Amino acid sequence: MASIEISPDEALALRARHAEVLHRPLYRRLMAPLLVVGAAAYLVFCFFFFNVAGVFANAQWERAGIYIADWYSWEATPRFRFAKDGIEVEWTRSLLGDNPNPDWIEGGKDNYVVSFGGADNQVEISPGIVVVVESGRRYDIPISESGAELSPDAPANMSLKGGRVTVDYGFIGLAEIRNTQVLVRHRYLGWPNFFFDTKSPFFGKDLGQLWADASSPERIEARMPNWQLIIVEFLYNSEWQHLDVFMKLLETIVMAFVGTLFAALVAFPLSFVAARNINPNRVGNWLTKRAFDLLRSVDMLIWALFFVRGFGPGPIPGIAAIFFTDTGTLGKTTTEALENVDDRQREGIRSVGASPANVQRYGVVPQVAPVFISQSLYFWESNTRSATIIGAVGAGGIGLKLIEAMRTNQDWENVAYMVLLILVVVFVFDNISNALRSRLIGRSGH
Amino acid sequence: MATLDQGGLTDAGRVVHDHYRALVRTRRVYTILSLAALLAVLLGALWFANAANSGKFFERLPYFFDFFIHFQPDDAMEIVRALFDLPSPHADGSFKYDYEVGRVYLIGDLYLPEYFYQMLVTINIAVVSTLMGFVLAFGLCFFAASNITGSRLVRFAARRGFEVLRAFPEIVVAGMLVAILSIGPIAAIAAVALHTVGALGKLFFEVVENADMKPDEGLRAVGGSWLERVRYGLVPQVMPNFISYALLRTEINVRASTIIGAVGSGGIGEVFRLSIGRDHAAKTYAIIILLFVTVVSIDWLSGYLRKRLVGQSAFQFGG
* CA distance linking residue A352 with residue A341, whole number of Å: 19
Alpha-carbon distance A138 to nearest alpha carbon in chain B (angstroms)? 35
% of chain A with per-residue pLDDT over 90: 17
pLDDT at B7 over 70: no
- Give yes or no: residues A177 and A250 share one domain: no
Q: Which residue of A has its CA nearest to B239?
A: A32
- Give yes or no: residues B129 and B267 share one domain: yes
Among A63, A258, A415, beta carbon nearest to B42: A258
Give the model's pLDDT for residue B162.
93
Q: Which residue of B has its CA nearest to A60?
A: B180
Print burial letters for A16-47: b (CB count within 10 Å at least 16), e (below 16): eeeeeeeeeeeeeeeeeeeeeeeeeeeeeebe
- Give yes or no: residues A292 and A409 share one domain: yes
% of chain B with per-residue pLDDT over 70: 95
User: Of A252 and B97, which is predicted with more confidence?
Assistant: A252
Give the model's pLDDT for residue B135.
94
Alpha-carbon distance B239 to nearest alpha carbon in chain A (angstroms)? 11
Instruction: Please state, rounded to an integer, the average pLDDT across all residues of chain B.
Output: 86
* CA distance linking residue B283 with residue B78, whole number of Å: 8
Q: For B246-286, what is each residue's pLDDT tens digit?
A: 998 998 899 889 888 888 778 898 899 888 888 888 889 99
- ipTM value, please give it: 0.81
Among A61, A393, A409, beta carbon nearest to B263: A393
Among A311, A315, A388, beta carbon nearest to B169: A388
pLDDT at B15 over 60: yes
* CA distance linking residue A302 with residue B189, whole number of Å: 21
The answer to whether residue B123 is domain-embedded is yes
**A199 — pLDDT class (breaks 50, 70, 90):** confident
Give the model's pLDDT for residue B189.
92
Provide the domain count of chain A. Answer: 2
Check CB contact under 8 Å for B288 and A60.
no
* Structural domain boundaries enclosing A137: 74-189
Provide the domain count of chain B. Answer: 2
Give the model's pLDDT for residue A413.
85
Q: What share of chain A is helix, strand, coil (3-state, %, to 5)?
A: 55, 15, 30
Give the model's pLDDT for residue A111.
82
User: Of A4 and A368, which is predicted with more confidence?
Assistant: A368
pLDDT at B314 over 50: no
Query: Chain A, 73-102: which have a CB under 8 Å from a chain B CB?
Result: none
- Give yes or no: residues A247 and A357 share one domain: yes
Give the model's pLDDT for residue B316.
32
- Give yes or no: residues B154 and B10 share one domain: no
Give the model's pLDDT for residue B5.
55
Among A49, A310, A402, beta carbon nearest to B67: A310
Give the model's pLDDT for residue B127.
95
- Give yes or no: residues A257 and A157 share one domain: no
**B192 — pLDDT class (breaks 50, 70, 90):** very high
Give the model's pLDDT for residue A326.
93
- Give yes or no: residues A248 and A361 share one domain: yes
Domain harbouring A335, CATH code: 1.10.3720.10
**A37 — pLDDT class (breaks 50, 70, 90):** very high
pLDDT at B81 over 50: yes
Give the model's pLDDT for residue A3.
63
- Give yes or no: residues A292 and A434 share one domain: yes
- Mean pLDDT on B197-207: 92
The answer to whether residue A350 is domain-embedded is yes
The answer to whether residue A237 is domain-embedded is no
Q: Which long-range contacts (CB under 8 A, 24 or more apart) does B224-228 make?
A: B224/A1, B226/B148
Check CB contact under 8 Å for B259 and A59.
no
Query: Chain A, 313-342: which have a CB under 8 Å from a chain B CB?
Result: 313-317, 319
A301 close to B272: Cβ distance less than 8 angstroms:
yes
Check CB contact under 8 Å for A392 and B64.
no
pLDDT at A10 over 90: no
Give the model's pLDDT for residue A269.
94
Alpha-carbon distance B40 to nearest alpha carbon in chain A (angstroms)? 12
- Mean pLDDT on A384-390: 86
User: Of B14 and A196, which is predicted with more confidence?
Assistant: B14
- Give yes or no: residues A143 and A247 share one domain: no
The answer to whether residue B101 is domain-embedded is no
- Give yes or no: residues A396 and A281 share one domain: yes
pLDDT at A348 over 50: yes
- Mean pLDDT on A15-27: 78
Q: Which residue of A has its CA nearest to B269?
A: A301
Alpha-carbon distance B192 to nearest alpha carbon in chain A (angstroms)? 12
The answer to whether residue A58 is domain-embedded is no
The answer to whether residue B91 is domain-embedded is no
pLDDT at A109 over 70: yes
Cβ of A409 under 8 Å from any chain B Cβ?
A: yes
- Mean pLDDT on A59-85: 81
The answer to whether residue A117 is domain-embedded is yes
The answer to whether residue A311 is domain-embedded is yes
A158 close to A137: Cβ distance less than 8 angstroms:
no
* Structural domain boundaries enclosing B255: 114-310
Domain harbouring B293, CATH code: 1.10.3720.10
Cβ of B172 under 8 Å from any chain A Cβ?
A: yes
The answer to whether residue B304 is domain-embedded is yes
The answer to whether residue A202 is domain-embedded is no
Check CB contact under 8 Å for A402 and B273.
no
Give the model's pLDDT for residue A178.
85
Check CB contact under 8 Å for A311 and B55.
yes
HSE-up of residue A280 (Cα within 13 Å, Cβ side): 1
pLDDT at A355 over 60: yes
- Give yes or no: residues B34 and B127 share one domain: no
Instruction: Please state, rounded to an integer, the average pLDDT across all residues of chain A.
Output: 84
- Give yes or no: residues A294 and A412 share one domain: yes
**A139 — pLDDT class (breaks 50, 70, 90):** confident
pLDDT at A445 over 50: no
Alpha-carbon distance B72 to nearest alpha carbon in chain A (angstroms)? 13
- Give yes or no: residues A252 and A391 share one domain: yes
User: Of A177 and A24, which is predicted with more confidence?
Assistant: A177
Cβ of B296 under 8 Å from any chain A Cβ?
A: yes
- Give yes or no: residues B148 and B296 share one domain: yes
Alpha-carbon distance B222 to nearest alpha carbon in chain A (angstroms)? 7
Cβ of B252 under 8 Å from any chain A Cβ?
A: no
Check CB contact under 8 Å for A255 and B49.
yes
* CA distance linking residue A425 with residue B236, whole number of Å: 38
Cβ of A175 under 8 Å from any chain B Cβ?
A: no
- Mean pLDDT on B233-248: 89
Chain A residues with CB inside 8 Å of B42's CB?
257-258, 261
Check CB contact under 8 Å for A314 and B67.
no
pLDDT at A146 over 90: no
- Give yes or no: residues A99 and A177 share one domain: yes
Element (H, E) at A188: strand A181-189
- Give yes or no: residues A172 and A248 share one domain: no
Give the model's pLDDT for residue A443.
53
pLDDT at B2 over 70: no
Among B169, B224, B259, beta carbon nearest to A419: B169
Check CB contact under 8 Å for A55 and B184.
yes
Cβ of B159 under 8 Å from any chain A Cβ?
A: no
Check CB contact under 8 Å for A388 and B186.
no
Strand order through the sheet with A111-115: A105-108, A111-115, A122-126, A129-134, A137-144, A147-148
Backbone angles phi, psi at A393, to 5 degrees: -90, 10
- Give yes or no: residues B202 and B287 share one domain: yes
% of chain A with per-residue pLDDT over 70: 96
pLDDT at B132 over 90: yes
Chain A residues with CB inside 8 Å of B169's CB?
385, 388-389, 399, 402, 419, 422
- Give yes or no: residues B154 and B265 share one domain: yes
- Give yes or no: residues B38 and B176 share one domain: no
Check CB contact under 8 Å for B296 and A67.
no
